Structure 1
Amino acid sequence: MSVSVLVVDDSAMARKMLIRALPPDWDITVTQASNGAEALAHYRQGVVDVMFLDLTMPEMDGYQVLETLRREDLNCLVIVVSADIQEAAQARVRAMGAIAFIKKPVDAERIKAVLKEYGLLV
């Protein structure tokens, strides 16, 4: 069964790098969003199983997306991918419902480990 993945980042290059870092044998359908508002539009269509979410974006940042998802009874797994590696930021996103925090630049092995930990990858 294919997993629906949403990659959210205002940088097209960052989205491309993250998609390349995803396991090649993972059965997924990838959708991209360049800001939080686009991410929520995709989420509300009911087609997001896993969201890779940047924190710093125009229009609506990652924190606002997490807050909205929590209010709307979060039903997808959110993995935050950010260059903001402060402990406070990591603790805040976990408290808001994110299952993991991956620092930029992304590391394919770290992504794989998180996916395995949550049963998304065998």
Structure 2
Amino acid sequence: MKVLIVDDSSMSRKLVLKALPEGFATQITQAANGAEALDAFHDGLAEVIFLDLTMPVMDGFNTLEALKKEDANAIVIVISADIQPLAQERVRSLGAAAFVKKPITPEAMEKALFDVGLI
């Protein structure tokens, strides 16, 4: 499984890495914003994308819009501190498969992966 972790905080990216089940990812790529994420996706580095919403250059909402416009074949799980119902509704309408509240835990990661059928 090719995993892409997108967050402007290197600490948040490390927490996502730690929360992944052992052996889940065969390849892990990291990006600090949505523009880098789209480049990585176009390079074939993302089957599953863990996406933050609040980032410089290109935020998570714009990234989801771009992926939706391209009819991208990737599973996107949003991991964000913005837990407002409107934000959750918006990301789902843009194609996100799941929404997980920050800080992510291994239990929350496992539940999200189970809910979207990846484990």
TM-score, normalized by length of structure 1?
A: 0.93
Per-residue deviation, 1:28:
2.7
Aligned with residue 14 of structure 2, among 13, 16, 33 = 16
What is the rounded CA distance, in whole Å, between the counterparts of 1:27 and 1:43 in structure 2?
Answer: 15
Provide structure 1 residue ranges, at least 5 long, that are not aligned to the other structure.
Answer: none
Per-residue deviation, 1:113:
1.4
What is the rounded CA distance, in whole Å, between the counterparts of 1:27 and 1:11 in structure 2?
Answer: 21
Match of 1:93 in 2: 91
What is the rounded CA distance, in whole Å, between the counterparts of 1:44 and 1:104 in structure 2?
Answer: 27
Match of 1:76 in 2: 74
Q: For the Cα contact (< 8 Å) 2:98–2:116, is it kept in 1?
A: no
Provide structure 2 residue ranges, at least 5 long, that are not aligned to the other structure.
Answer: none
Question: Quick one: percent identity of the two aligned structures?
Answer: 53
What is the rounded CA distance, in whole Å, between the counterparts of 1:28 and 1:80 in structure 2?
Answer: 20
Q: After superposition, where does 1:11-50 map in structure 2 within 5 Å? A: 11-50=9-48
What is the rounded CA distance, in whole Å, between the counterparts of 1:115 and 1:105 in structure 2?
Answer: 16
What is the rounded CA distance, in whole Å, between the counterparts of 2:5 and 2:118 in structure 1?
Answer: 16
> What's the Cα RMSD here?
1.0
Equivalences, count: 119
